[in-house]
Amino acid sequence: MPAVHPEFRCVVVSPLGKLLDCKATSVVFPAHDGKVGILYNHIPMFCKLDRGVMKITGVPPDVDTPPQVTSVFIEGGFALLAANVLTIMASDAASLDDDNTEEMHLSKRPKAGKSAAVAR
């Protein structure tokens, strides 16, 4: 019988839009009072985020393949976890993984003097 990886949904949004929407087996993010680790069926929570690196461990495609870990730098905001959906509402966020461009669609930063609505 193949191993089953309990998974939950992870969504990262910033003022510029949705940056990431994926299935994960674990997430670690910087909260205002230290790092928080999330696994499947974690108790619901709401917390303030700090500046730092968030690590998202994806669901492996099969038993023999290691899971992919995605790193995202977040600049404060809030985290909401309920019903196995983790939503990170970041003040600003950027991918630290150059090879994840297909899975992580980061919005382009607006040029100086233009609002985020104009830059889209």
CB 90 within 8 A of CB 18: no
Note if the pTM is more than 0.85: no
Confidence at residue 5, expressed as pLDDT on a 0 to 100 scale = 76
Confidence at residue 84, expressed as pLDDT on a 0 to 100 scale = 98
Tokens of 11: 């969504």
Confidence at residue 57, expressed as pLDDT on a 0 to 100 scale = 97
From the candidate CATH numbers 3.30.450.20, 2.40.100.10, 3.30.450.70, 2.60.15.10, the one assigned to the domain spanning 8-119: 2.60.15.10
Q: What are the DSSP calls for 68-99, one per residue? A: PEEEEEEEEEEEEEETTEEEEEESSEEE--GG
**In the block, residue with structure tokens 């994960």:** 24
Note down pLDDT in tens along the chain; length 120 residues.
Answer: 455 779 999 999 999 999 999 999 999 999 999 999 999 999 999 999 999 999 999 998 888 889 999 999 999 999 999 999 999 999 999 988 865 444 444 333 443 444 344 333
**In the block, residue with structure tokens 């600003």:** 92
Classify residue 48 as exposed, middle or buried by CB count within 10 Å of its CB (0-12, 13-18, 19+).
exposed
